[in-house]
Each structure stands twice: as C-alpha cells, then as structure tokens.
Amino acid sequence: MMQLLKWSELSDESRIAALARPESRQSASVTDVVRTVFEAVTQEGDAAVARFAQEFDGFAPRRLELTERVVAAARNSVDQADYEALQAAARNIEMFHKAEPVDGYETDIAPGLRCARVMRPLRAVGLYVPGGTAPLFSTLLMLAIPALIAGVDEIIICTPPDKNGNVHPFIILAAAVCRIPAIYVVGGTQAVAALSTGTDMIPKVDIIAGPGNAYVTAAKTYAASLPDGPVIDMPAGPSELMVIADDTADPGIVAADLLSQAEHDVMAQVVLVTTSDELIAAVQVELERQLQTLPRAEIAREALGNGKIILVQGIQEAVSISNQYAPEHLSLNTHAADKLVDMISTAGTVFVGGWAAETFGDYAAGPSHVLPTDGAARKWSGVCVATFLRSMTVQQVTQAGIQGLAETSARLARLEGLEAHARAADIRLATLGGLT
C-alpha cells in the first residue's frame, strides 16, 4: 500500500526522493528498445513496423477505413445512452476549445512600419490513442477536436489493436464524430517511429501528440531529437495524481480519486498530501474497501505501492510540495480550495474542491486530458488548439518607414561586422533619396 511519510522528519535528500517518479518509467532499457525500433523502421519502413507490431501486439498493422458500413457496425454494437454520452463529451470539449484565444495580432511600430503575427495550422498531425489494457476513446476526442478547431488538414490516428486484433467500437465512433476517415491499427514505439519517418502505409507528420506508456513517451522524445523529426505535444507518460486534502475532505472521495488514477497503469503514481492524521487513517481504510470490488484491482494495488501519503504541518507546505512535484493532475480537496489556485504554479490541470472529480476532466468537462507528466508541467502545457498551430510574423515597410529603420539597422549590422546586411539597408535609403 502507499508509503506514509512525515514531511517535517525528512532530510532534503529524502524529500527529493519522496517526490521522484518511479525509476522504471525512465530506464535505459526502454531507451535501448526505442532506438532499435527507430533504426529498423528508418531502414526498412513498413516491413520493420509489421515485424515489431507482430512481436509486441501480436497482429500486423493495418489501415481501417471508416466507411459507412464500419461506423454503422460500431454504432449498432453499443448502447444508445453510451453513444449519447460520447456525443455530450465531444460537445463540451468542442465548446471549451472554441473559446481559446488563438488569434494573431498586428501593430504599428512606427509610421510606415507595421508588424503582425499570424497563425497557421500544422500540415499533418499524428495522434496516438492508447488502446491496450483500456481503449481510451476519450483521448481521441481530447486530441482530435482541438486539432480540427485549429484547421489541420490531415489527422493521422494510430491505436494498438485489442487482444483479438480489433479496434474498440467506441474508438471507431469517436473518430467518426471527429470526421476522421481512417484509423491506423498499430501501437507502441513502432507507431511513433512510422509517424516520425513516414512509410508507404503511414504518412510522416509534423507533430505527434498523445499519451502512452513509458515506451511511447520515450519514443516521442527520441523522435523529436531526430533531424527533421516531428515536434511533440509534451512528455505524456503514465498517469499521475496529487491530492491536497485537509480534515474537511471526504475520505471516500479522496480514496476514489486516488484509485481512479492508480487503475490506469502499474506505473501510474498517486500522492496524497494532507494536514490530517485522521484523514490518512480513513483513506487507508477506504482504499482497501474500494479495492475489494474494483475490476482492475491488481493493477491499482501495484500502482499504489509506488504511491506516497505525505503528512504536512499546513496547507502552505502542501502547496509548496505540489509546486515542486508538478503533477499532471492536482486535486484541491480542502476548505476554501478556490483560494489556493493562485498559489499553484506547476500542474497540468487543477480540480478545485471536493466536487471536482479528476474523472470529469478525463471525459467530459472540456479541457483536454492530454497533459504533461513526470514533472514536465514545470515547462510544458497540456494539449490545446495552439498545440496544432504555428505562428509566423509579417513585416510591412513603406517609404515612410525607411529613414529611421534603415539607419538603425545598418548601424547595428556594421557593429556586428555584417557589411552586406548594412548595404541591404543602405540601398533602400539611397533609392528613397533618389525618388525624392
């Protein structure tokens, strides 16, 4: 079960160790496998992708066309209320992301000098949708809807097959809701490698987005390091949740939130930071009680073994720990939780108050649940419309703007020893003089 620590009794070194992610998430063996797969895919293309897909997933990769017949078959295999829930989630996600302020801007710097920043969608994006132990169709919505709003023309979906070699009907339906024409049934490092280099079957993309296991996360990082490799949305590995709670928190709710992330993956990490001994005892009882009926109890229990319960002396200390840890998900289950938000500087997403379940963010609240893990929230943001946009600047100069701009630029160019730069400014100034 989760390790109990008293923060006040820990040395500086012990505190660093307490907030460290499990070593297995960043092992050298993972990197070695990733490098081997990438080198083979680069040299052999689809043949290597197929070989690794057979080895790791048991099935050859394929392109699944989302024809009317395929979508109808998926639709007929699911309950109407379940399908309506999928549509409701899609509407909320779309509503949130459509409100994102991503417009460019322009400004007059000086008379005759006007500059602007304009936004353009990326040409092609690769979206990785986990589908191994759990078919995360919600992730498809969380990735594809912002990309569609950004105006991306080509959206490539890769997802691993299930144990029977099939694609879950709700992954098919989520793709259909997002107007995706096909799904590439291939997962893991081999999918990321194919998206990075391009093969006869799988197109090369400009960005790879989406969460995954340690191998997928390492593969994305490796891909971004390649010459002409894709950019990535962020490091988005095994899930993690930190809960800050005081004696006003419901222990059943706290335990349920911790388990909701622990059941994702044996390498998921959950952390409870609290001011209350009584809450700790109650949460431990609740964890055991709720585990008894949890279908993925074995996975959750192993993940809890990597988890921590940290007793602190006050909420300010708890917030400080959270900002050091930079959790993917942060739940503030305290009195006046909204007052703490301004103090939070590093988190992927924040759930405010006991009513705000992390589960809501995973499925239907609106913001994308594709978020930075392993402390990357100190530097990275979660997926949004801007993830799939790039900006470029536009500079317009008229005759009225030449005088001061040319003289300043030429002088600075000569200070740097770049005479051709200076002359490119001078010639315009001379030409302007000849016109007047």
What is the tally of helices (H) and strands (E) in the chain?
16, 15
Amino acid at 429: L
CB atoms within 10 A of CB 276: 17
Question: Helices in 77-202 by DSSP H: which ranges?
Answer: 80-98, 137-150, 169-177, 188-197
Distance, CA of 259 to CA of 271 (rounded, Å): 11
DSSP letter for 387, please.
G
Distance, CA of 408 to CA of 70 (rounded, Å): 64
| Catalytic choice (329, 358, 407, 419) | 329
CB 96, CB 363: distance < 8 Å: no
13 flagged as catalytic: no
**Complete DSSP assignment for 391-411:** EEEEEEE-HHHHHHHHHHHHH
329 flagged as catalytic: yes
CA atoms within 13 A on the CB side of 218: 21
Collapsing DSSP to helix, strand or coil, 197 comes out as: helix
CB 383, CB 146: distance < 8 Å: yes
Active site residues: 328-329
